[in-house]
Amino acid sequence: MNSVRRFRAAFAGLALVACAASGNAHDGHPATACRDNNRSDCHVDAQTAEVEALLVAVHDLTSYNGNPETAIDHLASWYELWAGDAILVVNGGAPIVGQDAILAFFASNPLFKTNFVGLTPSFRTKISIHGDTAEVYLECIFLTEALTVGPQRSLSGTVRKVHGKWLFWRMANNPAQPLFP
């Protein structure tokens, strides 16, 4: 079995264990609660689900980028997740301003050149919606094909709704806090 297949098999096994340990993951999901109950706060729940989808896209698009064609596709989709006037600050450095500059930064980043798999400790993800903006916090723990832990990063800041779509707007990318202090 080649290393990619071994990695995928191990990852699938890990995912099954995680699902079994957590029970039915959909029971607490805001969109499910909204759909299954006649609740007055469904608009907020739907907004939360939309922001969650934006955060999930981070892991989808920063994973499995060892193939250059996949990386190009992922970068094109990544570009669509950022507002035109977005600002990204990495490790407290100088702001990277604008969608094009942010894309150029990530295009040269190892995340879009390596077969990492991005995972998140979901209990650390935070979303707080305030009308057409929301404060978010997300951690990404990247695994290598050898199943070792690679970069551990956080993405936090403000997302905003632009023409009906939630986009990253004022964001910071820093090292994640250790899972085990």
Q: Tell me the backbone φ, ψ of residue 180, rounded to 5 degrees.
A: -120, 95
Domains of the chain: 3-175 (3.10.450.50)
Contacts of 115 (CB under 8 A, 6+ apart): 4, 7, 64, 65, 66, 144, 145
Which amino acid belongs to residue 99?
Q
Q: Which residues of the chain have pLDDT under 50?
A: 1-33, 35
**Could you tell me where the DSSP H helices lie in 23-163?**
30-36, 42-61, 68-79, 99-107
* Distances, alpha carbon 126 to alpha carbons 104, 177, 180, in Å: 27, 14, 19
Q: What is this structure's pTM? A: 0.75
Categorise residue 163: left if φ over 0, alpha if ψ from -120 to 50, beta otherwise. Answer: left
What does the pLDDT read at residue 133? 98
For residue range 128-172, list pLDDT tens digits in order: 999 999 999 999 999 998 889 999 999 999 999 999 999 999 999
